Structures are given as structure tokens and as C-alpha cells.
Amino acid sequence: MTEPTSTLSSLRRSPLVQIVVIGLLLLVLQVPVLLIANLVWERENTRREAVGEISRGWGGAQDAIGPFLVVPYRYKRVERNKEGNLEEVIAESHATFLPRALDIKANLATETRYRGIFEAPVYRAEVTFSGSFDRPDVSGWELEPESLDWSRAEIAFEISDVRAIQNEAGLSWGGRTVPFEPGLGLRASERAGIHAPVGSFDGETSDFRVDLQLNGSGSLHFAPLGRQTITQVSADWPDPSFQGAWLPGERQIDAGAFSAEWNIPYLGRNYPQSWRNGEAKAPEVVQSLFGFDLLTPTDGYRRTERSLKYEVLFVGLTFLTIWLFEVLAGARIHIIQYGLIGAALCLFYLLELSLSEHLGFGSAYLLAAVSVVALVAFYAKSVLPEARQGLTVTATTAGLYAYLYVLIQLQDYALLVGSLGLLLILAAVMYATRGVNWYAPREEKTLA
């Protein structure tokens, strides 16, 4: 053997050179992984478009905000006339008043709608708003009570998707029922909604009640407009995600349903119980929304994205296991063989994604993992010189898939479990290589 050939052979057997080459291969494998990650994004976007089509036909995410009592009033102001002289004129504006007490009860019947292979949770909601208004006190605005024009007063509700209202909703007010009309009437807002004329305000308080049948999808939110707002919600959906400025004080989640209750005082809001037309409070009202989303726990895209985050670690640990057989047992494995095993491991994520669109994520993960483990086992048995080494690689790969599944399922403890797992893996590698003389040349075992 000539000296250059001997030097080249020594370099190929050098652990440091092997680590560098395997690291470069790991970087090359990130190209197909990035393509798969982009495919996950594209499929998720396609699903989002399908869910949007379902929502447009059925009813979208609903914000049911109300009631607002909107009352026109007249007041005097001084302005210049055409001649440039100051004169007193009668102007008109309107004021908005919120209820003293507001009780909201919502009962949702959910179902799943499909567009192709994609699904979306939708609901039929029966929502009741009840409570009372105090007679407005406008003395702080330097107005007389007689300046309020009750003949044109209205109750208004903001509804995100008014197309999804399913009943001829009516307002019970002062012992009579008044039908709602489209639009927000006097209430100045960019949102859609409905309104009903009040006609009068008799006594010091006036009770109200509104029954709405509302279709929607994805989520339902309300606003705490009362001095005291009590909201009770129940639905036959097992996976709610409570959102907004307040979480429910009481909640119960069973296998197939949930219920929740909010009790919200007005002191926690950033807007008063009344304001005049020039005082825009829409942003503050929107910021105070509370409610829930209907989660789809079988969302394979989110979990595939999470599994891709561990891809470098997963492939790297598999390569480490094979490389240890080179170091400890003198096995000779070509970089192309590393590459083929790495390609099989990358293919797992594509299988996981495609199968999860048709099966539950757990079944898709299991089937993809079994397929790839079987492929790696067959190839490792042929590549490694001893059968037990192939079995070790197979067991390691299967164990890593089980470990990855646990990490994907965990939310709060994923970091802790991941850190402990890495600590144990490092300890195992240190123990296995404790007797290796890294300076001594290694002999190779060549496959027959």
C-alpha cells in the first residue's frame, strides 16, 4: 500500500472526518425536509380555504355583541351663520347606553361539515339575552331628560355574520314584542347587525329579552356590556379553547360536551355605561370580548409541524447509533448507505402528513412509523455485519419514534421530557464509548 493510499484510508477511518461527513449529509437531508415542511403549509392552507368555504355557506365565527340602547337627543350649540355672526342652533346627535344587568345563555348543537377530505366544526346556537336598563341619567352632559327622543330610540345588536340568523328575532321590551330590522340603525359601526325600535321608556327600569337562533363555525364570543354580566354556555363539543379578556370562572369538560360560566363586573372594562356619538368606543368593546373556540384535536398539520421540529435530532440520533457500530465493532458503512437510511427517515414525515388527512393522527403516525422502521430494519440487517447490530438499530429507531410521539402529545411538559431524554441518550453514548481509544487506528470489518 502506497503512502498516499494509506493516508487516505486513515482519513476515511478517522472518527472526526466521519462526523464531519455525516454532519454534511445531515445538512443535505434538510432540503427534502424543507420541501415537506412547505407541503405541510400548502395542505394546511388548502384546508383553511375549504373551511372558509364551509363557513361562508353556513356561518362564520360569530361575535354577538349587545344590547346597545341608542337614543337620539337634541342640544343647543353656537355656530356661525352665513353672515359670519354667532347664533344658537338646535343640533341632533345620539347617545348609547348599556344595560344594568345582562344575562346571556347559549346552547350549542355542533356537527362536522366536509369539503372534500377536509372537515370543519359548525354549530347551531340558541342564544338568549335578558336583563334590564336603568332610565338614562343625562344630567352630567348638561342635558334635560326631555331632550331624549324616545320615539326614535333603538336597541341594536352587532352580529358578525347576520346571514346566519335563523329566526325572526324579536325584542321583548316593556311588555310588548318588537321585530328586529336589518342593519344597526342609529348605531355608528362598521360591523353588521340588527336593530329594533323601542318607542318609549316607561318607569325607572325596563326589562328586555332577545332570543336568537344563530349558525356559526369555529368560535362564539360575547361582550360584557352589563354592569354585571353573567354568561352561561353549554355545547356538545369535547375540546373548547376559552379565549378573550376573561376566562370562565366555572367550567366543566366531559368526554363529549362542555359547559362554562362567566361572571364579569363592569369595573374590569375600559369603557363606561354610556357615551355620546362623538365618543367612539368600538375598539374598547372589541378588546373586551370573551368566549371560546371549537378546537379540532385531530389536526394532523399542527402535529406534523411539531414532529418536523425534532427531525434533525431524530435523524442525527439514528446516524449516531449506526456510527457507534463503526467505532465499537469496526463495521464499515458507506456514506451512501447513511444517505439511504436518512432518506427513509425523511419519508416518514411525508407518510405521516398524507395518512393523517384520511386517518386519525394516532393511526397515521403508527402506520408511518411501522413502515419506516420495517424499511430501516431490512436495510440495516443487510448493511451491518451482525444481526444483533441490525436489531439494535431497529429497536433504537422504534424507540425514537415512540419518544417523538410522546413529545408531540405533550404540551406543558414537552421541554422537560425532551431535556431528560437527551440527558439519558448522552449518558448512554458516554457509557458505550468509555473504553474507546480515539487515538488508535481502527480495524474495519468488511461485509462478505
Task: Look at residue 263 and tell me whether its pLDDT is greater than 90.
Answer: yes
Task: Look at residue 63 and tell me whether its pLDDT is greater than 80.
Answer: yes
Q: How many domains does the chain have?
A: 2
422-425 LR contacts (CB < 8 Å, sep 24+):
422/313, 425/317
In a domain, 88, yes or no: yes
Same domain, 98 and 13: no
Whole-prediction pTM: 0.72
In a domain, 437, yes or no: no
Q: Which of 225, 223, 187, 227 is nearest to 93 (CA)?
A: 187
Torsion of CA 364, 365, 367, 368, to 10 degrees: 110
Answer with the one of 239, 271, 294 that is the final residue of a domain. Answer: 294
Same domain, 133 and 250: yes
Report d(CA 161, CA 292) in Å as an integer.
17
Same domain, 28 and 65: no
Q: What is the DSSP string of 145-182?
A: GGGB-GGG-EEEEEES-GGGB-S--EEEETTEEEE-EE
Give the pLDDT band of residue 218 (cuts 50, 70, 90).
confident
Give the other-Cβ count within 10 Å of 420's Cβ: 11
Supply the range of the domain harboring residue 349.
Answer: 3-46+300-432
Same domain, 215 and 329: no
Same domain, 255 and 403: no
Same domain, 261 and 356: no
Same domain, 409 and 428: yes
Overall average pLDDT of the 421-426 stretch:
77
Task: Look at residue 300 and tell me whether its pLDDT is greater than 70.
Answer: yes
In a domain, 447, yes or no: no
Same domain, 36 and 77: no
In a domain, 438, yes or no: no
Same domain, 309 and 354: yes
φ, ψ of residue 253 in degrees (nearest 5): -120, 115
In a domain, 146, yes or no: yes
Q: Which of 105, 116, 107, 189 is nearest to 154 (CA)?
A: 189
In a domain, 97, yes or no: yes
Task: Kindly give, in sequence order, each residue whose CB lies less than 8 Å from that of residue 405, ignoring residues fewer than 6 positions away.
Answer: 365, 369
Residue 304, phi-psi category: left (phi > 0), alpha (psi -120 to 50), beta (remainder): alpha
Answer with the one of 229, 259, 294 that is the final residue of a domain. Answer: 294
Task: Look at residue 447 and tell me whether its pLDDT is greater than 50.
Answer: no
Q: Which of 292, 251, 286, 250 is nearest to 269 (CA)?
A: 286
Same domain, 192 and 129: yes
* CATH number of 124's domain: 2.60.40
Same domain, 10 and 28: yes
Answer with the one of 294, 319, 339 that is the final residue of a domain. Answer: 294
Same domain, 73 and 202: yes
In a domain, 270, yes or no: yes
In a domain, 136, yes or no: yes
In tens, the pLDDT along 351-381 reads 888 888 888 788 888 998 899 888 888 887 7
Report d(CA 332, CA 444) in Å as an integer.
6
